[in-house]
């Protein structure tokens, strides 16, 4: 059986998380929901991808986190963008634009 793959474009998850966090403090589970909603169900972040990514970003100093309670009164870890994270987001966004435009150039070359 051929393998059907890819809920995400590899390499964009960090950027997407930083972008969602830039909209205001949000917990991990909420990030995955927002990505799914805003992308109209196209992008689905697996929890096994999400949490390692959050820890990675926090470790690099791009996100900062505090425990608090969610709208349901549950314990949740809220993430916000640090100023280093803001710079990183800008960098990743411009890199994304550069690369996706380059891919588009190739995909548009006439047959």
Partner DNA sequence: CGTCTCTCCTAGACTTTCTACCTATGCTTA
Partner DNA sequence: TAAGCATAGGTAGAAAGTCTAGGAGAGACG
Residues within the interface to DNA (CB under 7 A): 3, 5-8, 10-14, 27-30, 45-49, 51-56, 70-77
Positive or negative, the CA dihedral 50, 72, 35, 21 is negative
11 versus 61: smaller Cβ distance to DNA: 11
Structure token digits, residue 52:
């390692």
Touching a copy of itself, residues 4-43 (CB under 8 A): 6, 8-12, 15-16, 19-20, 22-23, 35, 38-40, 42-43
Q: Which of 46, 55, 66, 103 touches a copy of itself by CB under 8 A?
A: 103
Distances (CA, A) of 3 to 6, 7, 39, 42, 44: 10, 13, 23, 18, 17
Among 65, 55, 63, 66, CA closest to 87: 63
Residues lying near a copy of itself in the complex (CB under 8 A): 6, 8-12, 15-16, 19-20, 22-23, 35, 38-40, 42-43, 93, 95-96, 98-103, 105-107, 109, 111
């Amino acid at each position: 059986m051929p393998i059907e793959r890819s809920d995400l474009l590899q390499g964009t998850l960090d950027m997407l998380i930083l972008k969602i966090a830039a909209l205001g403090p949000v917990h991990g589970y909420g990030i995955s929901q927002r990505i799914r909603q805003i992308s109209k169900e196209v992008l689905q972040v697996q929890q096994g991808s999400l949490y390692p990514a959050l820890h990675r970003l926090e470790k690099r100093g791009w996100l900062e986190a505090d425990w608090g309670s969610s709208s349901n009164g549950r314990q949740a870890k809220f993430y916000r963008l640090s100023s280093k994270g803001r710079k990183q987001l800008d960098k990743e966004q411009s890199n994304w634009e550069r690369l996706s435009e380059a891919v588009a150039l190739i995909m548009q070359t006439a047959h």
